[in-house]
A and B are shown apart, each in its own frame.
Chain A
């Protein structure tokens, strides 16, 4: 380990890493307990609590809700973020800054405020419990993530290929499909995955705008955990960690996890 850190620094670093990983490791370990109570498996591992999750109708339904919600809202967010990103980067027009600020504002408005605001709207238009409107609510929250990556992809983009195609008589639609889209594809897929993860994990806004039939997995877990704490919860959490890890692995492949997390400043 080639390092210039002293033993004190490395000791500190070890504690920080342990602190960051402890709560994630404990849920993954306890999920395999054979006991009826939350305990660390000492003698043997058991899959009984994972079986229990798949037999629990509420959790299964919530898992389906979350999966479809994240898939459709991430896709819809990507579909609207690509043209918006092109508009924001390729055109200078009055109101451009305001538009950019509006599209990124869900990043700084507390999700709690978004939740109560959308609850009010849904109550007035009779959309409470509608899956379609829940998808739209998630699209608002996750669009900024896609938009930032699309903008970054479009900014660092050589337009000579586009100009060449246009001058050779390709229609604008063909240019977009055959040249622009393939060139910004890493940013688009990275943005889609990041949006998927954020939708799949979202709890604070969703808790206000979901009805019993549309409850998402994190909301179901939140409600379950406020009432009872048993290894079932640990098993669901371990599954969540596994799904997130899988999405992170994909994200790392298509875009680079370090670039997503640290940004491109």
Chain B
């Protein structure tokens, strides 16, 4: 009798206890408040990438509404630099309303790699105006401060946003101030908030030299990317889907002035960066800079930093300036210090921005040659031609022996120094349906040769490959966890 009563009392106690929260925790409350305020301002940015080989891959990433008219900001890492900008298509924003997902057309506005942000605007008139997030500048979080960022689940779970809570673990000072987090940060580009709901930055990436000895050891580290780093871009988002151009000096291969080098050159406490190569006709050459010059100061401010970071600090400083800005450089050359004036130019076109031209029947994609091609392959500045971007396996071009990175200089007997001329010449030749097309190509740095393509005009045209839908993950810089974590949403 007594035992049964005791058992009933025990059962009663356990039942009552399980109804209340496990522990009264103000942090948990704050986190829930922050999430509830943040999530409605987030959307899922979706687009697909047309790869050179004709295949297609979809990508999804969290974007944040940062301005009126449904201006959405997301990580520039979602638009990788290796892929041509013209190959990103069909930008949309997926908005969660209760249990429903609504997809709206959007216009891609462009990206700024230096600020690590990209933008789009939801253009669909049916899209409701979404609440805007306000960013705070100069927050200066302290080590130990709790912060919150976001990640998301996959399509089967309706892209549910998941909170990532962590604490500030330390501050990185070079090349610019950013903050490390213990416990991990959310998806790249998502806002980072304090428990009071202040948005202090976004999740970004820095390249750190984690050397413990003389050999450099670079790795990419996720950090809190403070608002100051992208505020200007936020106020002035790009237009037209392009790349925000940054200033360029035309200097390649910089090495730091080590303590020993400073002693050797009798520079005392001064440090700086040593120029390895000056690009022909670039701003540095025009300013009178030469290889082996040591740049000591920019606009009167000495180049400073730890040995491992000197070069990164200097190049980062330049990228933060304006195109057209005139810099006064203090340069050491042969035991003398000179003052030179350099006008920053716009960074040259990259391979990703190069215009492409695809000839499906030949299984060939070519693109214009950019400065980067000439520098990497040590070609003279005067070198011309079009670069083979991709050759389809088993296609006519491939069978003829053409390979990716070949530079086509002539088609039959006609010069093709630019993409425009290549298009003209090649199209004219193709119209004639010739038995063979002989190209003169440059492979590597100096090896030229003839490549003979035999088109099989009469054979059935190779079937247009339907765009392959690659599973989610391609182009997405940080995929969300695969399964729903246990516990309340």
Partners in one complex: no
Task: List residues of A whose CB falls within 8 A of some B CB.
Answer: none
